[in-house]
Amino acid sequence: PAPGVHKWVPLEVRTSIFDDRREHLAFNNRTYESPLVPTLTTALTTGYQAFYPDAYGFKSNPIILDPMTDIEVAMFNNDPNSHPFHLHGHNFFIIHRGTIDNDPTKYRASGQYPVRRDTITIPPKEFAIVRFTADNPGAWLLHCHMIWHGEQGLMATFIESPYQIQNNTRLPQSVKDNCVSMGIPLSGNSMGRDGIDLPDEPRGPFPLTGL
């Protein structure tokens, strides 16, 4: 049987022209951009502040998960395209599917024994509700599996059990060496600073109103 619900995560998918005059895809009007410091590195090096979403950067769409909590993710596709959403680190239970206009003929409930997947395709103007238990500490992406849609910003980051990450995870030296060679900081928040020191963090672009 599927887990219950301790935390509800609503994610609305839209595409729009943003104020940088480009078309972006976004969850909750926030389009993804990779932080300077990898999310896992931030979780490992910011101590108790690793539990603050701000430490990971506004554009990484960070969602903090407590250990062993049951998570329900509700994805509403208001985009005119279908999207195959893939979650790293977990197989989720598919609980409900339906249309955003609540057409009763298209509503599908899972029953007592829902199927488990790591990817689900959501057609235009439809929604899906999935659940999983946060039993795998790490930094896990949820993204559209059409690569160009991910490049347009359709990603979010689950940071699961930050304290357990710090206690149980070590970066291989080869990863550190690669970061050094690429000029990527080996510690700190999304901008390579201490804690939530992000006074000049770029937060845009944002959707243009009326479009």
pLDDT of residue 210: 56
Task: Write the single-letter amino acid at 201.
Answer: E
Give first-to-last CA distance, the chain, whole Å: 42
Res 114 pLDDT > 80: yes
How is residue 193 written in tokens?
């600073």
Q: Which tens digits make up the pLDDT trace of 143-157?
A: 999 999 999 999 999
Res 211 pLDDT > 80: no
Q: Which tens digits make up the pLDDT trace of 55-89?
A: 999 999 999 999 999 999 999 999 999 999 999 99
Mean residue pLDDT of the chain comes to 94
* Low-confidence winner among 13-17, 184-188, 195-199 (lowest mean pLDDT): 195-199
Report the largest interatomic distance among the alpha carbons of the chain, rounded to a whole angstrom: 56
pLDDT of residue 12: 97
Q: Which tens digits make up the pLDDT trace of 26-37?
A: 999 999 999 999
Query: Looking at residue 136, what DSSP letter applies?
Result: S
- The CA distance from 22 to 192, in Å, is 28
- Give pairs for 143-149: CB < 8 Å, separation 24+: 143/32, 143/85, 143/86, 144/25, 144/83, 144/84, 144/85, 144/86, 145/84, 145/85, 145/86, 145/119, 146/83, 146/84, 149/25, 149/81, 149/83
pLDDT of residue 75: 98
- The CA distance from 193 to 195, in Å, is 7
Residues pairing with 158 in the sheet: 63, 140
* H or E element, residue 162: helix 162-168
Give the pLDDT band of residue 38 (cuts 50, 70, 90): very high
Give the pLDDT band of residue 195 (cuts 50, 70, 90): confident
Q: How much is the average pLDDT of 172-190?
A: 95
Res 209 pLDDT > 80: no
